[in-house]
Amino acid sequence: MTTEAVSGSATAVAHPSLAMIKYWGKQDTTENIPATPSLAVTLDGLDTTTHVVLYPSEASGSPSDIVKIDGVSQPIQRYKGFFDAFRRLASENGIDLTRWWFMAESSSNFPSAAGLASSASGFAALVLACAGASGLGDVPDTRDLSAVARVGSASAARSLWGGFTQLNAGAKSAAPVKDASWWPNLRIIVAEVEKGPKSFSSRMAMESTRLHSPYYKAWLEDSSILFRQAMAGLESRDLSILGPAIRKSYMRMFATMFASDPPIVYWKPGSLSLINACEKIRGDGIQAWETMDAGPQVKVFCLDENTEAISRRLQMALPGVNLRICTVGGAPVLRNG
């Protein structure tokens, strides 16, 4: 039995999920099901805060749900699948939201749509705030919220937990692997090579790779092997095992994109300067393993004791580059009101 919703509001804060082993490609574009297994770390220090208000549709004067990022209204079509999935989940948990709209306002303390996984933290914060505003609170299992977030952005499914998470190929929801305390001296240096939004969305680029890259099949096969290597490195907290798997995963993801027709190139000259710097740092015997996502930014996995030395060398390689030192972050949090 379902009961009518009542007006409510909630605020949630979530962190991005940075993939060490990359999700790139979909098994199902409608349901947004990943074709590769991914293994990710939740980043502390990068926050998305989302405030959601639930209000009766007849009193709203609005034709639909509303999402604003930094005060700017977003095309609601991009969110339709997400809100449909959320309403289904609410109904399964006894709350009827058919005559209610959501109004969401979101902002981050880092650039959006620039290859820093803002859609992961964004949809994770959104699903949690929607649950709070609807009065669902802690009722749905986190895996159910993860499955709804996945419809918004598959990487967001991973951001529902802190620490290290995995999203298997073909999976509807992510799963926790290790909590945030697992690797206390792991650091991730986030280097902002360029500000401003990326030139094409990861969703379009991912689909174009699937359809137009002759290397896509090899990429899918390879992903499972790299996933297992990375899991072994994480289990043993050994960067000399995890690091090479991290590097191979992003390099092979981009190789598949470069081979696409037309090619997809997110790299900028500054990205390459930092990639080369990491190789030299490793040549000097320091563990510094970089990765990149759908944008020009570079993230470097290292240990606490090497953070200063690596940061200095990155600054020398790309003077003026903005560096943030992140630790492994916790789960998203929900505040009522």
The residue (of 95 and 124) whose beta carbon lies closer to ligand 2P0 is 124
| Interaction site with ligand 2P0 (CB under 6 A) | 19, 22-24, 32, 38, 117, 119, 153-155, 202-203, 206, 293-294
User: Closest separation between CB of residue 267 and ligand 2P0, Å?
Assistant: 13
User: Closest separation between CB of residue 19 and ligand 2P0, Å?
Assistant: 3
The residue (of 91 and 199) whose beta carbon lies closer to ligand 2P0 is 199
User: Closest separation between CB of residue 187 and ligand 2P0, Å?
Assistant: 19
User: Closest separation between CB of residue 153 and ligand 2P0, Å?
Assistant: 3
User: Closest separation between CB of residue 26 and ligand 2P0, Å?
Assistant: 7
Alpha carbon distances (Å) from 299 to 44, 185, 230, 293, 316 = 13, 16, 17, 9, 16
The residue (of 53 and 76) whose beta carbon lies closer to ligand 2P0 is 76
User: Closest separation between CB of residue 39 and ligand 2P0, Å?
Assistant: 9
The residue (of 202 and 273) whose beta carbon lies closer to ligand 2P0 is 202
